[in-house]
Amino acid sequence: MNKITLNRFKFLFNQILKGNFRNALRYKLWLIGYQTTLPAFIIRQIPIIENGEALVEIPQHPKIICIAPQPFVRESVAKMLVKVADNLPQNLYLKILYAYRDQETQKRFWDEVVRDTSSLQIAKSLSAKPGGIGPHQTGAAVDVTLTDSLGNELDMGTHYRDHSNIAKIPMFAKTCTPIQKQNRKLLRQAMTRSGFYFYPGEWWHYSYGDQSWVAYTGDRNAVYGEKTL
């Protein structure tokens, strides 16, 4: 049993000890694969012990292509991105599509998802509802993909934030081709080996140290709360 699996069972057991039986049930349903993502109410209840790290600009690196409008993340996250880039195969590059996102931008993204999907339920799996502490508002999250040496993005099944084919957006979408699954695996391995964890509902979203990261890894508490530039 690896560390993440062990931590997840500890997380489940702690929910039972605290009498949070609804949380425990929903968490167990996710563990056994009945649900793709964890419900927001579980994630929101995870404690945050802010460590005070500053937001810093994503470092320049020969293997990082950053097009994020607000290219800022927490200090540890910035170092981890460099580690990802350092360990990529020679012909691959890390493309950062989005990083820090303020509440105003988050609301705009939310409204776009609701409009595109015509479903609040689907929107909740694709975007953090504005007003809360979303991963991007903490500086913990990045939306990323991989490119080849010519700058062409690898085929991941969908384009970034393309809601025309909702079924293909989740990380382990069954409708993906073998090549698309392999490309997602390459990205997933590169990111998780450096300490990030993926959000199962979107193939491009990774984070470290926020409430979502804790929920999916089973760690004790988040170290990043909401941060402003």
Q: How many CA atoms lie within 13 A of 99 on its CB side?
A: 25
Q: Is 136 part of any known ligand binding site?
A: yes
Single-letter residue type at 144: V
Residue numbers annotated as active site = 202
Torsion on CA atoms 170, 61, 151, 89, rounded to nearest 10: -70
Q: What is the dihedral of CA 106, 108, 109, 115, to 10 degrees?
A: 140
Residue type, position 18, single letter: K
143 among annotated binding-site residues: yes
205 is in an annotated binding site: yes
Q: What is the CA radius of gyration of the chain?
A: 17
Q: Phi and psi of 137, rounded to 5°? A: -75, -15
Q: Which two tokens stand for residue 107?
A: 């609301």
Q: Which residues are annotated as a binding site for Zn(2+)?
A: 136, 143, 205
Q: Which residues are annotated as a binding site?
A: 136, 143, 205
